[in-house]
Amino acid sequence: MRAPFAVAARWFTLATLAAFAPAAAQTPGRSGVPSGPVFLPLLADPKEPQFFAAYLWERSPRLAPRLGSVGFGQTIVLVNARTWQVAIAAAVFSQFNLARPTADLMNTDYRVGIPLTYRHAGVTTRLQLYHQSSHLGDEYMVHANAQRVDLTFEAAELLVSQRLAAWRVYGGGEYVFTHSPADLKPGVLHGGLEYRQTGVLLHLGRLAAGRVVAALDAKSFQDRGWDVGWSGVTGLELGDALAGPDGGWRWSVLVRAYTGPAPYGEFFRDRVASLGVGLGLAL
C-alpha cells in the first residue's frame, strides 16, 4: 500500500529537517562526561536502531524484486556517567513492495532493548537485553496468500569494540533465551569492521563537514547452520562542522549491499541478496 510508505517518508523528512535545527545539536558533556552514546551505532548492521530510508534491488524466493526499506530508531541515554551508560534503544523496521503500484507493506519488525555500555580508553563494550517481534503486512498476506510466522524472541547481546584511529573493529554475539517458533536455535556470532575518515573531504561552510565512511558487518546464525549474513555500506557522511567525526548530528548517503539469511523477521529462513542506495540520519 502506498499510504504507509508515504507516511514513513514524511517522518524521515521531518527527522532530517530536525537535524538541522539548533536544538538538534548535542550539548557538550560535563567535564569529560559524554553527551551521546559511548557505543556508537553500527554503520552496517541492518537491525541497528537508526533512521534510514533505502531503495533496494532484491533477489529472494518470496520478497519483491524492488523494495523500499525504512527504519526509525534511536538510542537514548538514561543514565550517563564518566565511563558507563544505561540507555533505551528502540526501532521499527519495515519493507515495502515497490514492484506493485500499491507498494504493499511486506514485513515490520519491532525492537526494543536496554543497553548497558562501558568505555575504557579506545575500547567500548555493550551488554544488551532486547525484544523483537515481527509481523507480515496485511496486503502482502492477501495478495500472496501468505501465512504469518509467529517470530518473537528475547535475546542477550554482548559486543566489544576497539577504535584504532579511523578504524573500528567489533565482535561478540547473541543468545536467544525465549523464542517462538520453538525450534529456533539460539546462537548468533557477530562481528564487523568500520572506517570513518578522520579528516574532512568537503566543507559546506559552517553547516556541515563531509567524510567518507565504509563498513562491513557479519552475523552467523546457528538457526541457519551458522550461515553468515554479510552487510556492507559505503558513501558520504555529512556531520556537524563544529563537532568531531563521532559527535553531533550526522546524515549520510550510502550504497548498501547484503547477502545471506534475510534480516527481515517474517522471512528469516529465506536467503536473500540486495543492492541499493539510501539516506541515513543519526541525532
Query: How many other CB atoms sit within 10 Å of the CB of residue 236?
Result: 15
pLDDT score at 4: 45
Q: How far, CA to CA in Å, does 130 sit from each of 7, 134, 141, 189?
A: 27, 14, 27, 16
Least confident of 141-150, 236-245, 254-263: 236-245
User: What is the pLDDT, as a whole number, of residue 32?
Assistant: 56
Amino acid (1-letter code) at residue 65:
P
Is the pLDDT assigned to residue 156 strictly greater than 80? yes
- What pLDDT sits at residue 144? 81
| pLDDT for res 35 | 63
- Take residue 282 and report the three cell numbers written for it: 543519526
State the DSSP string of the chain.
-HHHHHHHHHHHHHHHHHHTSGGGSPPPPSTT--SS-SSPPPSS-TTSS-EEEEEEEEE-SSS-SEEEEEEEEEEEEEEE-SSEEEEEEEEEEEEEETTSTT--EEEEEEEEEEEEEEEETTEEEEEEEEEEEEEE-HHHHHHHT------EEEEEEEEEEEEETTEEEEEEEEEEEEEESTT---EEEEEEEEEE-SS-SEEETTTEEEEEEEEEEEEEEGGGTTEEEEEEEEEEEEE-TTS-TTSS-EEEEEEEEEEEE-SSGGGTTSEEEEEEEEEEEE-
Arithmetic mean of pLDDT, 249-265: 94
pLDDT tens per residue, range 195-247: 999 888 888 777 788 999 999 999 999 999 999 999 999 999 998 777 666 66
Residue-range definition of the domain harbouring residue 258: 2-282
| Range in 18-22, 144-148, 184-188 with the lowest mean pLDDT | 18-22
Helix (H) or strand (E) segment spanning residue 94:
strand 84-97
What is the CA 71 to chain-centroid distance, rounded?
7
Compute CA 217 distance to the chain's CA centroid, rounded to the nearest angstrom.
11
Q: For 11-48, what is each residue's pLDDT tens digit?
A: 444 444 444 433 333 344 445 566 678 899 999 999 99
d(CA 255, CA 233): 5
pLDDT of 33: 62
pLDDT at position 204, please? 79
CATH number of the domain residue 215 falls in: 2.40.230.10
* Mean pLDDT of the chain, nearest integer: 87
Percent of the chain with pLDDT over 70: 85
Task: Flag whether pLDDT at 142 surpasses 90.
Answer: no
Q: Is the pLDDT of residue 188 over 90?
A: yes
**pLDDT at residue 240 in the model:** 79
Name the grid cell of 230. Answer: 554479510
Number of domains in the chain: 1
Distance between CA atoms of residues 134 and 143, nearest Å: 19
Q: For residue 262, is pLDDT > 80?
A: yes
Q: Which residue type sits at 118? A: Y
pLDDT band for 143, please (50, 70, 90 cuts): confident
